[in-house]
Structure 1
Amino acid sequence: MGKSLHDFTYLTFDVVGTLIDFEGGLTECLAGIAADAGVVIDAEEALSLYRAARYSRDADLFPDDLIRVYLAIAPNLGLPVERKCGERLRVSAKRWKAFDDSAEALAQLAKDYRLVAMTNARRWAFDYFAKELGSPFYAAFTADETGTEKPDPVFFEKVFDFVAAEGSSKDEILHVAQSQYHDIGISRELGMSNCWIERRHGQKGYGGTIEPAKFTEPDYHFTSLKGLANAVAAARG
């Protein structure tokens, strides 16, 4: 652990999966579609199928891509192969819930840092997520602003340019995320300090998130965002 929590000015956050429970949102909507069709689905199987379908070469921006993903996975789940169901899945993003600790922890962390969202979601979806989280962000970068998705270094460079314009540098950023593939590995490669929020602790596999080629040991590791907020409070004394 190279730096103290006092050494950072900015906390950058992955949103979907770290702050917003997208796995719960996805599987709840799919279960509703299944119930209407008179079938039952297995949540972990659905997430595995989602992961394989989501990260294909013809993927669209998230969550608009959920229409294509639904049509790809529906046959394997015994669900209706109908575009209206895919649209139902896409629109469900407007109602996805935050993890129980997210809003309170973000409000606490905002007392000490400038909070910056970094999400692969499009701006229209992020606006709903931000409201669900209590609108805590100092700034936000979505796939619409960056023109790309993490783990593309270009996404991170946009944020580096932003903090540089404020007279700061990436050395003053702690990147907070649950995805080893999208965030923790690439942030290490780019020389950032990072904090892994292990949302799937106690569960097997990577759920709806693609498995990384290798595991990256983070600078900080908590199983909840509350854990980070409590550590900051303790460091503050």
Structure 2
Amino acid sequence: MNLTDFEALSFDCYGTLIDWEAGISAVLEPWAAANGLQMTNEELLIAYGTQEAQAEAEHPAELYPAILARAIRTLGAQLGVPVTDAVAETFSNSVPNWPAFSDSREALIRLSHHYKLIILSNVDRASFARSNERLGVTFAGILTAQDVGSYKPSPRNFEALLAESDRLGVGQGKLLHVAQSLFHDHLPAQAIGLHTVWINRRHDNPGWGATPEPPASVKPDWTFTSMDALADAVESELA
């Protein structure tokens, strides 16, 4: 099996193409400091990630800005510190400010010469549209949690992805899913029969950060530490 055996690549966005941990930390760190919390950034991300995943599982129909507000409020309750309406609103509206990884745009452009590109994201349409301005790429298909009515790792999101792949005329077994999160993406993608590429953005950092640990073992078919490395590998095969 080769990377060039596939016709389309589906991508998780936040954590893979957009640096969601930097965006989350830009709000959590000053909030924690203002309330005297003696926690490292990694500890904050781990505590937050649990709250967001729970909010998504329990409120699948809520739009992502509401999930963000809910998650930071429950994080505050867990840590015993207040979350003002202003902080919750700032956080809920922060997605457009989250930066893209420096290699995302160029790598996507390179990959678009060889594949149809699809987004499968755990946000709402408006938030992704603003992030896509940073990526500067036209995707053949875009699926958000708002479109599906649930959040990854729900199997519903990956069933919708397969339906979108069929709509775009991608051949059976010719879709490859690319993502950072083993919890949100690799485990459910492989459960539905997809091959996967792990963009291990946290390869220099121990632990899971804002992404919960997967509940079962999962082995991606390929692993790269950057989008550039994936694009290099594809071009090397083609050469």
**Taking structure 2 as the reference length, what is the TM-score of the superposition?**
0.90
Structure 1 partner of 2:5: 7
Cα distance change, pair 224–87 in 1 and its aligned pair in 2 (3 A) = same
8 Å CA contact 1:29–1:89 kept in 2: the answer is yes
Rounded to whole Å, the distance in 2 between the matches of 1:144 and 1:75 is 27
Task: Confirm whether residue 202 of structure 1 aligns to residue 204 of structure 2.
Answer: yes
Structure 1's unaligned 5+ residue stretches are none
- Aligned residue for 1:26? 24
- Equivalent pair of 1:50/1:73 in contact (CA under 8 Å): yes
Name which of 123, 126, 145 aligns with 1:124.
Answer: 126
Answer whether contact 2:8 2:170 (CA < 8 A) is retained.
Answer: no
Equivalent pairs counted in the alignment come to: 234
For the residues of structure 2 that align with 1:75 and 1:153, how far apart are their CA atoms?
30
Q: CA deviation at 1:38?
A: 6.8
CA–CA distance in structure 1, aligned partners of residues 116 and 51 of structure 2: 35
- The structure-2 alpha-carbon separation of the partners of 1:206 and 1:167, relative to structure 1 and needing over 3 Å to count, comes to same
* Distance in 1 separating the partners of 2:111 and 2:207: 29
What SS does the aligned partner of 2:173 have? helix
Matched, 1:213 2:215: yes
CA distance in 2, matches of 1:186, 1:128: 27
Shift of 1:55: 2.3
Instruction: Tell me by how many angstroms 1:71 deviates.
Output: 1.5
Q: What is the TM-score normalised by the length of structure 1?
A: 0.91
Partner amino acid, structure 2, of 1:86:
A
For 1:136-215, what aligned pairs fall within 5 Å after superposition? 136-215=138-217
Looking at structure 2, the residues matched to 150 and 205 of structure 1 have their Cα atoms a distance apart, in angstroms, of: 20
Point out where structure 2 has 5 or more consecutive residues left out of the alignment. Answer: none
Q: Which residue of 2 aligns with 1:83?
A: 85
Name the CA shift for 1:213/1:75 in 2 (closer, same or farther; >3 Å): closer
Residue 76 of structure 1: how far off its partner (Å): 5.8
CA contact (8 A) 1:13 1:118 kept: yes
Cα separation, 2, equivalents of 1:207 and 1:217: 19
3-state SS of paired residue (1:17): coil
Separation in structure 2 between the aligned mates of residue 169 and residue 145 of structure 1, nearest angstrom: 23
Change in 2 beyond 3 A, CA 1:24/1:10 = same
TM-fit CA distance, 1:136: 3.4
% same residue:
36
Q: 1:108 aligns with which of 98, 107, 110?
A: 110
